[in-house]
């Protein structure tokens, strides 16, 4: 059975018919936040309920990178290649320096603790953009249950000054986020408060004029499931997590095709020597598929 569902014929050129969706590691509880380190030839990802950041490499397989991880969720790298992490347990965003020490990038807004930073991207100007829904403080499963003291918004932090600003305040529960290749557009997944009538869709904001997101029209509604983690490829197609795998959306928002994965997908990232491999975190397992596309994310 094919691992791919081709809806737009162009998607047939994005995938390789004989490339498997390969399970690389399993036995986790809820994996999230994959980030590729080409210089170290490894992938880091979170196993949130088990309070660990895991490391996988083609040579050495799976190992623990950091435990406890403060219930880390999403990760990315900054323009200098340093690891940027969202932590539920400490309700903060951190940077891991080259020597392994940890610098707090953001942990409060308006004098109150953040909720539970979920996912993060770094723009070419070095600013760090992250979503702050309340999932990590709702229960003790992925962090510590606590009162919500700030709204669920998207923040921008300027690391040099530690200035933190609200960039998007009209979403229910912002989650994954990704810029278009020219950074004129910002895509943000809204996973909602898990109530039946809540918005659960990907919106796209225009950032071209001032660098601040404007508009926020509905771009696509993932079905089945919801968009959690999202990534953009070098041609501007958006790849999104879904209940049945990974969906590929054209820049106009139409569904081009699917990579079918046997577990609920949380997040994805491009990696490998040509950024042509898609790493997929899906519930209890890490998967990888080689594509005829390459990722846009840095580095
Ligand atoms: Mg997420």
Q: 104-123, pLDDT tens digit by residue?
A: 999 999 999 999 999 999 99
- Tell me, in angstroms, the distance from the centre of ligand 1 to residue 96's CA: 20
Average predicted confidence (pLDDT) for the chain: 96
Residue 241 lies in a domain: no
Of the candidates 271, 221, 275, the residue with the CA atom closest to the CA atom of residue 247: 221
Whether the pLDDT of residue 280 is over 50: the answer is: yes
Residue 233 lies in a domain: no
CA distance 1 to 86: 37
Q: Rounded to an integer, what is the distance from CA 266 to the centroid of its chain?
A: 8
Residue 127 lies in a domain: yes
**Separate counts of helices (H) and strands (E) for the chain:** 1, 27
CB-neighbour burial class of residue 141 (10 A; exposed 0-12, middle 13-18, buried 19+):
middle
Q: Which domain holds residue 169?
A: 23-222
Question: Confidence band (pLDDT; 50, 70, 90) for 195?
Answer: low
Residue 249 lies in a domain: no
CB 119 within 8 A of CB 86: yes
- Tell me, in angstroms, the distance from the centre of ligand 1 to residue 229's CA: 5
- Tell me, in angstroms, the distance from the centre of ligand 1 to residue 174's CA: 9
Residue 86 lies in a domain: yes
- Tell me, in angstroms, the distance from the centre of ligand 1 to residue 131's CA: 9
- Tell me, in angstroms, the distance from the centre of ligand 1 to residue 57's CA: 23
Count of domains for the chain: 1
Peptide bond into 200 cis (omega under 30): no
The string of pLDDT tens digits covering residues 151-165 is: 999 999 999 999 999
Question: Confidence band (pLDDT; 50, 70, 90) for 96?
Answer: very high
Whether the pLDDT of residue 140 is over 60: the answer is: yes
Encoded tokens for 31: 């994996």
Encoded tokens for 260: 């079918």
Residue 239 lies in a domain: no
The string of pLDDT tens digits covering residues 72-95 is: 999 999 999 999 999 999 999 999
Whether the pLDDT of residue 30 is over 80: the answer is: yes
Query: Tokens 């990178």 appear where?
Result: 65
- Tell me, in angstroms, the distance from the centre of ligand 1 to residue 76's CA: 12
- Residue 298: what pLDDT? 59
Query: Tokens 């990802």 appear where?
Result: 45
Encoded tokens for 27: 């036995």
Encoded tokens for 241: 């997590």
CB 35 within 8 A of CB 44: yes
Whether the pLDDT of residue 171 is over 60: the answer is: yes
- Residue 68: what pLDDT? 98
- Tell me, in angstroms, the distance from the centre of ligand 1 to residue 274's CA: 25
Residue 299 lies in a domain: no
CATH number, domain of 217, equals 2.120.10.30
State whether residue 80 is helix, strand or coil. Answer: coil
- Residue 2: what pLDDT? 79
Task: State whether the Cα torsion 209-153-52-267 is positive or negative.
Answer: negative
State whether residue 187 is helix, strand or coil. Answer: strand
Residue 113 lies in a domain: yes
- Tell me, in angstroms, the distance from the centre of ligand 1 to residue 132's CA: 10
**What CA–CA distances, in Å, run from 263 to 58, 142, 243, 246, 248?**
22, 19, 7, 11, 17
Average pLDDT over residues 196-218: 90
Listed in sequence order, the DSSP H helices in the chain are 135-138
**What CA–CA distances, in Å, run from 229 to 75, 164, 189?**
11, 23, 8
Whether the pLDDT of residue 299 is over 60: the answer is: no
- Tell me, in angstroms, the distance from the centre of ligand 1 to residue 296's CA: 19
Average pLDDT over residues 212-238: 96
Question: Confidence band (pLDDT; 50, 70, 90) for 1?
Answer: low
State whether residue 128 is helix, strand or coil. Answer: strand
């Amino acid at each position: 059975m094919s691992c791919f569902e081709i809806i737009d014929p162009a998607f047939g050129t994005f995938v390789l018919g004989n490339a498997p969706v390969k399970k690389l590691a399993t036995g986790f509880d809820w994996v999230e936040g994959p980030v590729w380190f080409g210089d170290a030839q490894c992938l880091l990802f979170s196993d949130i309920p088990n309070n660990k950041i895991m490391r996988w490499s083609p040579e050495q397989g799976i190992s623990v990178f950091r435990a406890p991880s403060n219930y880390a969720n999403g990760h990315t790298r900054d323009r200098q290649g340093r690891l940027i992490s969202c932590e539920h347990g400490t309700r903060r965003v951190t940077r891991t320096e080259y020597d392994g020490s940890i610098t707090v990038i953001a942990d409060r807004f308006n004098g109150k603790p953040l909720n539970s930073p979920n996912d993060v991207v770094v723009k070419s100007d070095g600013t760090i953009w992250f979503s702050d829904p309340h999932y990590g403080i709702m229960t003790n499963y992925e962090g510590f249950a606590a009162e919500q003291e700030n709204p669920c918004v998207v923040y921008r932090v300027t690391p040099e000054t530690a200035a933190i600003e609200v960039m998007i305040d009209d979403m229910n529960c912002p989650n994954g986020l990704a810029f278009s290749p020219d950074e004129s557009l910002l895509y943000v997944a809204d996973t909602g408060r898990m109530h039946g009538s809540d918005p659960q869709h990907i919106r796209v904001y225009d950032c071209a004029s001032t660098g601040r997101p404007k508009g926020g029209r509905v771009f696509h509604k993932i079905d089945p499931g919801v968009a959690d983690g999202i990534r953009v490829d070098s041609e501007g197609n958006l790849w999104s997590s879904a209940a049945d795998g990974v969906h590929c959306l054209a820049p106009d928002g139409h569904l081009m095709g699917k990579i079918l994965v046997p577990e609920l997908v949380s997040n994805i990232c491009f990696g490998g020597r040509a950024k042509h491999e898609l790493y997929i975190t899906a519930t209890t397992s890490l998967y990888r598929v080689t594509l005829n596309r390459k990722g846009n994310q840095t580095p």
